[in-house]
Amino acid sequence: MDQSQKPKTEVGQSPEKKQRTSRFPGFYKLDVWERLDKLADWYPLTTKEKWTLKNETLTAEQADVMVENVIGVFGLPLGVAVNFRINDKDYVIPMAVEETSIVAACSNLARIIRENGRLTASAPHAIMEGQVQLVNPQDPQQAAKDIMEAKERLLLLANRQDPTLVSLGGGAKDLSVRHLDTESGPMLIVHLAVDVVDAMGANAVNTMVETLGPVLGEIAKAEVVCQIISNLCDKSLVRARLEIDPACLKTKIFDGMTVAQRVVKAYHFADADPYRAATHNKGIMNGIDAVLIATGNDWRAVEAGAHAYAARTGRYRSLTKYRIEGGKLIGEIEVPIAVGVVGGVGKLHRGVEILLRLMGMPSRRELAEVVATVGLVQNLAALKALVTEGIQEGHMTLHARNVAYSAGAIGDLAIAVAEQMIKEGRIRFDRAREILKKKLSHKAETPGNGQ
């Protein structure tokens, strides 16, 4: 590479990071192979790996090992969000999602933030909890006391189920008891807190609580019903924060500070009204789920935990918060996230393995930080659109080409049909068919077309 080809060093970027930037101007203008080639500036993908990502990240034979009654493989578009810098480290972030505009919105806002603000995130140790349900104990108070007196013995028993996890510094760390009054009578719920290190931890935790269940039943003189991990992992809360100069948010209609103030008002709406909060938080999960799917993680578990956490006060509320402070727009998210980077799908899914390496093989903690940050960035991108030109303008503009393809247009013709629908402000299937019919008719009548 000659000097003229070297990427520019960004402000505050050390010399050794010159070749490691997620800022790819014009990335969206490239075709698929050109994008894969461009990623070679970021990570040295082999030709085989590029082909795998483009054509076959998962075979039917591999899928047949993963789930039952396999008849094939169902694909999703796989994109990468660029421009992200989190905790002063650049990331190219894989996103598997079928909804138009999500990858573009994330990439665009990440660019704005890196040039006019900062993204930071933090995640604690990876603590997951398992629960053992003890029904109708003879003496609930005495049973709880007896369980806590046996705590050290119970933790040792749990840790004997996974010596490898313990050797890595993880394992069962704590045990507690909760009392519930239910329609079925009194219950004691025993919580086992397990440090799962870099795994999602479901298998390890479930094995431990299933081992402890019969022992706890004897101690409490109670019936054991359920022994299972909880997906409300509120001991693994992940926090992300953005700080941005409002001036960069200006539009043709609003100045930047006005946009920031409208974003804050939109957040207050979502935080006060569960009808709005449901859509607000869905937008957050648009970003979170896309990264989880691309990295082979259980997006359903994270969804369940996130929505349960949003309702922890007794009312379903926003997972994000916004305020203006010191002349800056501050956005924050706090969400329970359980992810893994070892075991699970990654062993079977070639694409997941490649994509984790493309991200720099993050630890569980680092991946959780990235996931939460993408959710926050996606949320601000949606709010900015919502409080300015409206959500449909940008979304439907990007959707127009999909409509054109659905109507039967391909290649340059699809682009022409999409552009005309955008110009008319009528992005509909029936209109696409009308435009396509006219263009095909005109093309057939034009001299020089082989007629």
- Closest among 158, 13, 171, 173 to 85, alpha carbons compared: 13
Using DSSP, how many helices (H) and how many strands (E) does the chain show?
Answer: 16, 10
In a domain, 99, yes or no: yes
Q: What confidence category does residue 348 fall into, taking pLDDT thresholds of 50, 70 and 90? A: confident
In a domain, 154, yes or no: yes
Say which residue, 6 or 110, is predicted with more confidence: 110
Which residues are designated catalytic? 99, 282, 298, 395
CATH of the domain at 424: 1.10.8
CATH of the domain at 201: 3.30.70.420
Question: Do residues 344 and 405 share a domain?
Answer: no
Question: Do residues 372 and 416 share a domain?
Answer: no
Question: Do residues 64 and 104 share a domain?
Answer: yes
For 143, the domain range is 127-229
Mean confidence (pLDDT) of the chain: 90
pLDDT of residue 4: 37
Question: Do residues 283 and 378 share a domain?
Answer: yes
CATH of the domain at 316: 3.90.770.10
Q: What confidence category does residue 155 fall into, taking pLDDT thresholds of 50, 70 and 90? A: very high
Q: How far apart are alpha carbons 46 and 51 in whole angstroms?
A: 9
Residue 16: pLDDT above 70? no
Q: Tokens 């796989």 correspond to what residue?
A: 78
Question: Do residues 183 and 322 share a domain?
Answer: no
**What's the token pair of residue 182?**
């239910």
Question: Do residues 105 and 137 share a domain?
Answer: no
In a domain, 343, yes or no: yes
Segment 237-257, tens digit of pLDDT: 999 999 999 999 999 999 999
Q: How far apart are alpha carbons 17 and 90 in whole angstroms?
A: 9
In a domain, 6, yes or no: no
Contact between residue 200 and residue 179 where contact means Cβ atoms under 8 Å apart: no
Question: Do residues 267 and 384 share a domain?
Answer: yes
**What's the token pair of residue 263?**
């974003």
Q: How many CA atoms lie within 13 A of 438 on its CB side?
A: 9
Q: What confidence category does residue 397 fall into, taking pLDDT thresholds of 50, 70 and 90? A: low
Mean pLDDT, rounded, for 204-230: 97
In a domain, 44, yes or no: yes
Between 5-19, 98-112, 405-419, the lowest mean confidence (pLDDT) is in 5-19
Question: Do residues 183 and 245 share a domain?
Answer: no
Helix axes 391-406, 411-424, angle to 10 degrees: 140
Q: What's the whole-model pTM score?
A: 0.86
Q: What confidence category does residue 441 fall into, taking pLDDT thresholds of 50, 70 and 90? A: confident
In a domain, 350, yes or no: yes
Mean pLDDT, rounded, for 258-284: 98
- Number of domains the chain is built from: 3
Question: Do residues 330 and 435 share a domain?
Answer: no
For residue 353, give every residue at least 6 positions away whose Cβ sits within 8 Å of its Cβ, in sequence order, or none: 346
Residue 337: pLDDT above 60? yes
**What's the token pair of residue 353?**
């393995």
For residue 371, give every residue at least 6 positions away whose Cβ sits within 8 Å of its Cβ, in sequence order, or none: 238, 288, 291, 292, 302, 337, 339
In a domain, 16, yes or no: no
Mean pLDDT, rounded, for 284-306: 96
For residue 374, give every residue at least 6 positions away whose Cβ sits within 8 Å of its Cβ, in sequence order, or none: 81, 84, 93, 95, 106, 287, 288, 290, 291
Q: What confidence category does residue 422 fall into, taking pLDDT thresholds of 50, 70 and 90? A: confident
Question: Do residues 374 and 283 share a domain?
Answer: yes
Q: What confidence category does residue 71 fall into, taking pLDDT thresholds of 50, 70 and 90? A: confident
The three-class DSSP label of residue 223 is: strand
Between 69-73, 114-118, 311-315, the lowest mean confidence (pLDDT) is in 69-73
Question: Do residues 385 and 397 share a domain?
Answer: no
pLDDT of residue 5: 38
In a domain, 15, yes or no: no
Question: Do residues 213 and 247 share a domain?
Answer: no
Mean pLDDT, rounded, for 35-39: 91
